A and B are shown apart, each in its own frame.
Chain A
Amino acid sequence: MAGAGGGGCPAGNDFQWCFSQVKGAVDEDVAEADIISTVEFNYSGDLLATGDKGGRVVIFQREQENKIRPHSRGEYNVYSTFQSHEPEFDYLKSLEIEEKINKIRWLPQQNAAHFLLSTNDDLRINLWHLEITDRSFNIVDIKPANMEELTEVITAAEFHPHQCNVLVYSSSKGTIRLCDMRSSALCDRHSKFFEEPEDPSSRSFFSEIISSISDVKFSHSGRYMMTRDYLSVKVWDLNMESRPVETHQVHEYLRSKLCSLYENDCIFDKFECCWNGSDSAVMTGSYNNFFRMFDRSTRRDVTLEASRESSKPRASLKPRKVCAGGKRKKDEISVDSLDFNKKILHTAWHPVDNVIAVAATNNLYIFQDKAN
């Protein structure tokens, strides 16, 4: 799939990212239901789906070569929209079941129709047969007999891209477990356990919270996985459990703001991360509508912004810089000026081309490389 054929995708950093499109209302007053909660390209990249807190799914389709409107080639336009989930109420447990779309996963195309699976887990992972809707297999169950003994929860899970029996799940304590469904029906015992050793002298009240993994993604090659915790992105080699092979700092300047971030709950924000098609670059979001890209080979990184101001067609995105302290240079923004309400939690990278989709609250931005 990705990276196949001559040279594959160039690294994210060597190219000029330009504004392509933005979807969503311009209104300053954002309705909670319109907040985008997930973004996902399908296997070919011709379809792009978003889900929102209101339980709706919107699917965009990429325009093909068009002689009448040559500039519209490569543009994503609405293909279909539907209400996927409705709010429900569990009267027995006095629990409201949110209609928010947590994740969208595209299924490999079987016939002319495209199918997608939209889904919601904390203590259990269940495996569903697509034609059997009233029962499922429980593969992982970490619920203790006494809830007072609960020390960690499952935060993210993913199947291996090539080995369908292998899955990983991350925890709120910063650990990742790899399970093989062939070895046992109930995967409470992991095959591999990934954890970075911690320096006990640097431990603080915040250590556990900021180590909580908000997202885990396998590389397209299936050889690596990437995890996102509050301040960094880590790349792990599946053959090495002792520590990550790479650590990329997303916004280290927030370390001296943890007290306020705890008080305003931002410390619990769940950022996602994604790989580019050739696994040579990774991307994740931050605050102030900033998002970051890391080139794994050159070790260079860039901060870009999704904003209406830089939304002119084919306008190049200017790299941003946050001033952590000391004298602020002309185009830099100080940490205290960052808007913590403008969070980019969800991003997606086209499986082959240098096209990215960035969800900024209720707006979806699409950026392309100038060479496209």
Chain B
Amino acid sequence: MSAEVPEATSVKEQKEMEDKVTSPEKAEEAKLKASYPHLGQKPGGSDFLRKRLQKGQKYFDSGNYNMAKAKMKNKQLPTATPDKTKVTGDHIPTPQDLPQRKPSLLLASLLAD
């Protein structure tokens, strides 16, 4: 009875090992899951699609920013971490976080003179 359980586990382990050998893609998946254990578990909509549509835009709201600052008082505001699973999350972008608006090339060349 109890002797059957260890055998069943080793068959599963063996299959996983075989998968890694025959499928380089699955081996890569295992690597990724080791680094980001929460990947792919978020409900509602695909991370990739959101990433794609958002194109890394951060929405700065001065109201949120000032309220968060007031709440936090002396503490630091949570800043963006290079976390692949976060989409917008709880972090409040600070003015330094935001990507600079690109000046128009034409305008830049006009202003240069």
Contacts and interface: CB of A to CB of B under 8 A. Distances in A.
Interface string B33-54: 1010001100011101100110
Given A258-B25, A259-B28, A268 B52 contact: yes
Interface string B1-37: 0000000000000000000000111111101110100
B24 A255 contact: yes
Nearest to A152: B49
A202 interface: yes
A209 interface: yes
Given A147-B45, A202-B23, A86 B106 contact: yes
B28 A204 contact: yes
A207 B106 CA distance: 43
A114 to B, nearest CB: 23
Contacts of A209: 48
A262 B24 CA distance: 14
A207 B40 CA distance: 13
B29 A153 contact: no
Given A257-B28, A258-B25, A86 B104 contact: yes
Contact of A149 (B35, B45, B48, B59): B45
A89 B57 contact: no
Interface residues of B, number: 31
Nearest to B50: A150
Contact of A256 (B27, B57, B106): B27
Contact of A204 (B29, B44, B46): B29
A255 B33 CA distance: 16
B28 A206 contact: yes
A96 B57 contact: yes
Interface residues of A, number: 36
Interface in A185-228: 202, 204-209
B29 A94 contact: no
Contact of A153 (B23, B53, B84, B99): B53
A148 B57 contact: no
Nearest to B46: A151
A205 B40 contact: yes
Contacts of B28: 204, 206, 255-259
B102 interface: yes
Contact of A205 (B39, B44, B57, B101): B39
Contacts of A148: 44-45
Given A94-B59, A96-B101, A153-B52, A83 B25 contact: no
Contacts of B35: 259, 263
A332 interface: no
B49 A150 contact: yes
A268 B51 CA distance: 10
A177 interface: no
Interface string B66-96: 0000000000000000001000000000000
Interface of A: 33, 54-56, 83, 86-87, 89, 94-96, 99, 122, 147-153, 172, 202, 204-209, 255-259, 262-263, 268
Given A96-B99, A256-B24, 16 more contacts: A94-B57, A94-B59, A99-B102, A99-B104, A149-B45, A150-B45, A153-B53, A172-B49, A172-B52, A202-B25, A204-B28, A206-B28, A255-B24, A256-B25, A258-B32, A259-B29
26 contacts: A33-B105, A55-B105, A56-B105, A87-B104, A96-B101, A148-B44, A150-B53, A153-B49, A172-B48, A202-B26, A204-B25, A204-B26, A204-B28, A204-B29, A205-B39, A206-B28, A255-B25, A255-B28, A256-B24, A256-B25, A259-B29, A259-B31, A259-B35, A263-B32, A263-B35, A263-B84
